Copies of this chain bind each other. A is one copy, B any other.
Amino acid sequence: MRTKRQSSETIPTNQNPVEKSSAPLYRQLAETLQLHMESGKIAPNEPLPAERDLAISFKVSRDTVRKAIRLLEERGVLYSDHGRGTFAAPAAVRQMSRFLDSFSEDTLKRGGTPGQKILSMENVAANMAIASLLHVEAHVPLMRIRRLRLMDDAVVGLQDSYLHLPQGARLERKELERAGSLYRLLIDKFSIEPSESLESVGAIAASADDALLLGVGPGTPLLVCERVMLSDRREPIEYCEMKYVPSYRYKTRINKWSNG
């Protein structure tokens, strides 16, 4: 009999070791592990089996196990400590995404129903400030989209996007209404893959216009978030300013000391 640390249970190895789709092994393994932990089999801060044991159970190399663990660590599902072991993360951590989701995703994750009301879509000439952010010449045509964002039919935010689309690209109001998500549309229609965004968050008083649209009093404190979105080629694609009513909050999880 092995004299090693007992982890709560062995994880069922699914007969055929891992496979189900053609996704990389380590992703399939991560999926399996995550499901196993979400089903509550391993209590928060309780250890998983050791990496070497997982490798044997699932008939993969230890390196593949480690890749799966790194992925779940990013998702906040578990964490590893040198010399101690790998542990299930507390629920509070697991529930919080490390990445700011799109409005739609974020709302869904909160258990709400996302919605939008398109206020306007028009072609405008870039002013100097926005041209500089998007790395284009001033007066280049941009598509400006103004939207109200709804959560469970209540107005929570106001988005003002400036898109730098490829030459001749056209975007219809109907398409956006149908897609629901602007980024979904960029991917599907133009093969533009958002990869990274630079954000700046602050507080601002609602202008008369803002107040009217958001249904709050003028001067109400709003959460304002500016974003420059980059494509996979790191070209600036979109500048967006978002204003949210005080009841709306950004939530995020941060690894404090990940940097070397």
State the CA gap A197–B228 with chains docked (Å): 25
Which residues from chain B contact A183 at a C-beta distance below 8 Å? 256
A256 touches B92 (CB 8 A): no
Contact with B along A171-203 (1 / 0, CB 8 A): 000000000000100000000011111111111
Complex A-B: 22 CB contacts under 8 Å:
A90-B230, A92-B228, A96-B198, A99-B256, A99-B258, A195-B256, A196-B255, A197-B254, A198-B252, A199-B254, A201-B223, A201-B249, A201-B250, A201-B252, A202-B249, A203-B222, A203-B244, A203-B246, A204-B221, A204-B246, A205-B246, A221-B222
* Interface 9-mer from A5-13, A73-81, A113-121: A73-81
A45 touches B233 (CB 8 A): yes
Which residues from chain B contact A201 at a C-beta distance below 8 Å? 201, 223, 249-252
Q: Decide yes or no whether A229 CB sits under 8 A from chain B.
A: yes
A229 touches B256 (CB 8 A): yes
Q: Decide yes or no whether A35 CB sits under 8 A from chain B.
A: no
By Cβ-Cβ distance, the 3 closest A-B pairs, closest first, are A221-B221, A203-B221, A203-B223
Q: Which chain A residues numbered 191 to 237 have a C-beta less than 8 Å away from chain B?
A: 193-205, 219-224, 228-230, 232-234
State the CA gap A118–B178 with chains docked (Å): 54
B203 touches A203 (CB 8 A): yes
Q: Which chain A residues numbered 74 to 123 have a C-beta less than 8 Å away from chain B?
A: 74-76, 79, 81, 87, 89-90, 92-93, 96-97, 99-100
B71 touches A260 (CB 8 A): yes
Q: Copy number of this protein in the oligomer? A: 2
Q: How large is the interface on A (under 10, 10 to 19, 20 to 34, 35 or more residues)?
A: 35 or more
Which residues from chain B contact A92 at a C-beta distance below 8 Å? 198, 228
Which listed residue, B74, B195, B249, touches A257 by the CB 8 Å rule? B195
Which residues from chain B contact A257 at a C-beta distance below 8 Å? 193-195
Which listed residue, B90, B221, B248, B251, touches A205 by the CB 8 Å rule? B221
Q: Decide yes or no whether A62 CB sits under 8 A from chain B.
A: no
State the CA gap A72–B229 with chains docked (Å): 20
B223 touches A202 (CB 8 A): yes
Q: Decide yes or no whether A147 CB sits under 8 A from chain B.
A: no
State how many angstroms separate the Cβ of A82 from the closest Cβ of chain B.
10
A99 touches B195 (CB 8 A): no
A256 touches B194 (CB 8 A): yes
Q: Which chain A residues numbered 145 to 176 have a C-beta less than 8 Å away from chain B?
A: none
State the CA gap A224–B90 with chains docked (Å): 25
